[in-house]
Amino acid sequence: MILKGRKVVGGTVEGEALVSSDPVSFYGGVDPDTGVITEPGHVLCGKCITGKVFVFPTGKGSTVGSYVIYRMKKQGTAPAAIINVETEAILATGCVISSIPLVDKLDKNPLKTLKTGMKLRIVGEKGLVESI
């Protein structure tokens, strides 16, 4: 399966998908020291995003979220790549300054097409998501 979308941040990575139906706030919703989602009531609360291809609808929250993503990258707790239904500026900025591949606006809804545990290759320059 190959999905085509929009390149937000380039880069090629492979990893295991972690899919959330809930939006994510990196400021207050994710522990930057562990990569664990800590937001009470979040569908993935307690799950670790470190090294995963993290799939979720969109980001939410404070502009500080961009710097949390950067901190996670420096500490080795960041996701390998991010796929959004539609990304927003805070998340995009965090991925740009952290060189984390980010794609969105795929030709099929990634929340319905991709499943947690799938092995994926992201080719950010081309906006491609491939199951491997």
Q: Which residues are catalytic?
A: 62
Indicate the SS3 state at residue 118: coil
Residue 62 identity (one-letter amino acid): S
Calculate the alpha carbon distances from 26 to 10, 30, 61, 76 in Å.
21, 5, 8, 15
- What's the CA gap between 76 and 127, in Å, rounded? 24
Please name the residues in contact with 29: beta carbons below 8 A apart, sequence gap of 6 or more: 37, 38, 39, 42, 61
